Amino acid sequence: MELPAYQTNLSSESSAILQRIGKTDKTAVKDCIDTYGNLVWALARKHTDSPEEAEAATQEIFLDIWRYAGSCDSTESDEVTFIFLIARRRLIIRLQ
């Protein structure tokens, strides 16, 4: 099964958003939501039964991103992969 392509607002300066969140940069959370919000919302909407559940899941996912941003190692994976894995894990937990 092929996943549809999702638009993210990636630019060269957004490549270190998770590192900035890990260093408590106050603007980084907004940048993260602006950059990855569409991806997270689309995943949440696909794996929940209603827009309300998707909204709650999206909030939980961004809290997890904030919580674990400092552990992202850019030598092992890029930010999109890291965020996708956090979203996937949170959505699996919600389904259980």
Into which CATH architecture does domain 26-95 fall? Orthogonal Bundle (1.10)
Reported as half-sphere exposure (CB side, CA atoms, 13 A), residue 91 has a value of 20
* pTM score of the predicted model: 0.80
Instruction: Compute the distance between CA of residue 1 and CA of residue 63 in angstroms, rounded to an integer.
Output: 29
Number of continuous H segments (helices) and E segments (strands) in the chain:
4, 0
Q: Which tens digit of pLDDT belongs to each residue from 16-27?
A: 899 999 898 989
* Residue 33's pLDDT band (cuts 50, 70, 90): very high
Instruction: Compute the distance between CA of residue 74 and CA of residue 82 in angstroms, rounded to an integer.
Output: 9
Q: Which tens digit of pLDDT belongs to each residue from 46-88?
A: 999 999 999 999 999 999 999 999 888 877 888 999 999 999 9
